[in-house]
Structure 1
């Protein structure tokens, strides 16, 4: 693979690149006793030394994770055992003098976090209370329930009044009408996570396997479309490492559309752009040789005539990065926002939220999927406003446990942007209505929050917004992934399995019973 000029060789990740002291030899076969890491309380001297070591080593690859970020139980039972496995600590030999130094210092770091972490997770900050009155929407359960309700894609096509749904269980790309009736189904090799209509046809991104893995099973396939039916045409890209998103645009000015693929991966991964050749094939160029790329958006941020890349990165070195394009497919990195490694970035949207002509960034961070974890008071929805000089400031934060996606649109048609958000890891015990929240803009970045009783009828992994019924206002489609290893109340899980929908359609009733004069589509409703 050709490499971009962006130097990312120094950008390491705890999840795949470095050892605690640069001396963790992953080839060692000796395994520590199972009691290793069961520590006695730290003395004052041990605490201070552990703090120094943590600040030195834990900040090598990402921002330093303060002990307050997690409660004591999560550090002890989740984070530190997870890191111990990733770093190869369990394979070191306590009888080897060099390894003994590493193990002793690891033990001090462990003791520091265990002593400094709070007994209980820090509570959420103030937020607009969630009212159980989704007055602008009617809830439609279309009865579409393939397999075990594991939806990986929901996408509204306003041009045809169709809903495209990807399913992990059945490995299909399904086409539904505006009422949620199944019209056709295309069997594919692995779960679809993205679909894009381009001038040369349709492109579908296949993840390979949904759980984190490092097998190169992903693909971007090209599809033919006739009416409501898709058919496979060709593999555009193959052997991809767990791709979660694809973006399209001419990055080198040759008149051909290139692809940017977010290869999230697991321990390994990459962000790469694929230069389209004159024969239709692609030449890969790696930008980031590390895991965690969630999604990209292409836009000319500095108005130099070249498409730039905005990428959301997770997996330890979490952040939003602007990759400024020199016009030849070579990029200069400009960090927009950098966060600590348990931030949990899950999605973002590029949108001119305040209508000032500059593209802003709406983010959701709430991923708790690597191991059982406490609730986190920094999870939620954030809006970063662009000052026109590609400087972004946080202008709004709505605390939301387990936030997974946020979409901005003018849902009430009053001229400003509202926000729809889903949570995949809500507080099911105290605030299950966090599963879906509609934030109605009241002006001045003040919002009222709403949900609905059926929001707990599924565990929403994906969401899209758009006018699916042709009446001129944006609707919402939620997609559920209910069959997961993450623990919930057994009664709720049983309800999901027996009665849970695969999708819910939230039909916007702002324009009720009539089509917008601007629309020329009969959706059959």
Structure 2
């Protein structure tokens, strides 16, 4: 009976994979098609180094063997081989056995794990051998030990929990008019906290919130991820709350999104209707889309990129032609920062701005003028470590890329920080220049647990001194917001804790998070 079910199931897969989409791509971010024109004999005549550049550079930017240790590359290659169709048929149960019919169809449409090898297995083994021969057995990791910020010059305190639940904060934002703090959790709640009255209100939502957009009349749009854990099922959505927390009723505007994490609002086609730009980060599948608002209130989808990994976007008229353009950070596959220049009529032209290696783990971007030359620069955090290459990496950290005025960017600052997740500009010490607040979701919790939050104090000329705080290890900070709780012009740092992740944490530290860790912690400077 099991054999019959297995045969039927394999035939089902073969049917779906026979219906793959062969449409031609418009740009490098609009296809995951593997494109090598050489035949088998030509490939087998190449050595491992040549093959690695050709094959590995086809799907993402080429990583040198020396970036990771041999043991880590082995884990990476086990996954990458499947992406090339190597031994997929022998691993069908492992790859698809737990998938629903809907997931099978989605994965087949994306040709994620081709049933037939895209290159000869002998060529793949040459690549593996080349990396194994040229990677190091051990990479020396630089200890990152920072001074602790003087406790006389800051205060920290938690925002009291509204419910007896473990900390799983997925989003935190301040509503600018009221000053209220809104934060979402993986337990499917949206909380509103009034700082002056120390009061809470809450709304039960269908899935964890990842972004929110406020309007002056008290209404708000809420972005829900759908499924928090990696998944290809499109369950994310945009809901509109026309009366905010007054009535707590919502109207669904957009659904069937692939794990969306960020949205922006702008009139992209100059029709006096506000459109929505959405980063559908996804998993194996995802998109970067804009939804055109029609006169009847419906939204029409336009796909800018049909690949996963979009995580943060900005909308401005970057080339001063009167039309709004888009800049997006892509944190998967061909990781990088890309401009999409608006040519009118819904047509966007791709302009690559910065490209990152796949092991860099970019996870956040801000646009701010650090050198006061009138041009916005990029502030980047790259320390995502929740993938197949988990290890402390000397190239993880915070970077500033300066804009020359013509949207050419050059790295001008780098601070190594293991697991850097978000980096935000803030004049924390109120001395007139921009400091940087950094939360690190994947620091070395064994040796330096306080490095999960680091403050970079601006000393001038793009020199920054890193500090930790003695309270930093009280949570595992996934999200961060710069707020003004007392409306006095002095900013505070809000840190949201999410205590689960598939990376090592000392048991006593994890237990303390579960039992007494705050959901949200506030850091405020004291002169």
The TM-score bracket by the shorter chain reads 0.7 to 0.9
- In the other structure, the counterpart of 2:366 is 349
Please give the residue correspondences for 1:354-373 in structure 2 after superposition, counting only pairs within 5 Å. Answer: 354-371=371-388, 373=390
Q: Quick check: 2:84–2:119 contact (8 Å CA) kept in 1?
A: no
| Structure showing the higher helix proportion among its residues | 2
**Is 1:104 aligned to 2:104, yes or no?**
no
**Is 1:164 aligned with 2:182?**
yes
- Structure 1 residues 224 and 130, CA, compared in 2 at 3 Å: closer, same or farther? farther
Q: What corresponds to 1:61 in structure 2?
A: 59
Between stretches 360-369 and 133-142, larger displacement belongs to: 133-142
**TM-superposed deviation, 1:499:** 1.7
Using CA pairs under 8 Å that are at least 6 residues apart, name the structure with larger relative contact order, 1 or 2.
1
SS in 2 for 1:304: coil
Say if 2:336 and 2:353, in contact at 8 Å, map to a contact too.
Answer: yes
Q: Tell me the residue number matched to 2:514.
A: 497
* Distance (Å, rounded) in 1 between the aligned partners of 2:119 and 2:389: 30
Larger mean Cα displacement after TM superposition, 101-110 or 379-388: 101-110
Q: Distance in 2 between matches of 1:158 and 1:509?
A: 23
The reply to whether residue 91 of structure 1 matches residue 88 of structure 2 is yes
Residue in 1 aligned with 2:226? 208
Cα distance per residue 1:71-123 (max 9 Å; x no partner)? 111112x21122233333222579xxx96972222222112112211122353
SS at match of 2:58: coil
Q: Of residues 287, 292, 299 in structure 2, which corresponds to 1:275?
A: 292
Counterparts of 1:151-230 in structure 2 under 5 Å?
151-169=169-187, 171-178=188-195, 181-198=198-215, 201-225=219-243, 229=246
Aligned 8 A contact 2:30 2:305 in 1: no
Q: How does 1:109-508 map to 2 (within 5 A)?
A: 109-124=127-142, 129-133=146-150, 135-144=152-161, 146-169=164-187, 171-178=188-195, 181-198=198-215, 201-225=219-243, 229=246, 231-371=248-388, 373-508=390-525
What is the alpha-carbon root mean square deviation over aligned residues? 2.8
Instruction: Return the TM-score normalized by structure 2.
Output: 0.84
The Cα shift of 1:284 comes to 0.8
- Paired residues of 1:245 and 1:296 also in contact (CA < 8 A): yes
State how far apart, in whole Å, the 2-side matches of 1:403 and 1:166 are.
Answer: 21
| Conserved? CA contact 2:291–2:300, under 8 Å | yes
1:501-522 CA distance string (max 9 Å, x none) = 1111112334xxxxxxxxxxxx
Contact kept, 8 Å, 1:23 with 1:102, in 2: the verdict is no
> What TM-score comes out, normalization by structure 1 length?
0.84
The separation in 2 between residues aligned to 1:349 and 1:122, in whole angstroms, is 31
Task: Report what 1:74 is aligned to.
Answer: 72
Taking the aligned partners of 1:58 and 1:21, their CA distance within structure 2 comes to 15
1:440-464 per-residue CA deviation (whole Å, 9 max, x = no partner) reads: 1111111121111221111111000
Structure 2 unaligned segments of length 5 or more: list them.
1-23, 92-115
> For the residues of structure 2 that align with 1:61 and 1:432, how far apart are their CA atoms?
35
Aligned-partner Cα distance in 1 for 2:33–2:165: 38
Per the alignment, residue 30 of structure 1 pairs with none
Kept in 1: contact 2:484–2:492 (CA 8 A): yes
SS in 2 for 1:493: helix
Deviations 1:154-192 (A, max 9, x none): 1123431211110012x0110012269451111111000
Q: Whole-Å Cα distance in 1 between the matches of residues 117 and 258 of structure 2?
A: 33
State the alpha-carbon separation in 1 of the partners of residues 424 and 45 from structure 2: 44
* Structure 1: runs of 5 or more not aligned: 1-5, 25-45, 511-525
Structure 2 residue aligned with 1:39: none
Distance 1:347 1:146, change over 3 A: farther
Partner of 2:48: 50
Kept in 2: contact 1:153–1:165 (CA 8 A): yes
SS in 2 for 1:413: coil
1:115-140 deviation digits (Å, cap 9, x = unpaired): 21112235349x89443435543110
> Secondary structure of the equivalent of 1:484?
coil
| Counterparts in 2 of 1:73 and 1:505: CA distance versus 1, 3 Å | same
The alpha-carbon deviation at position 417 of structure 1 amounts to 0.8
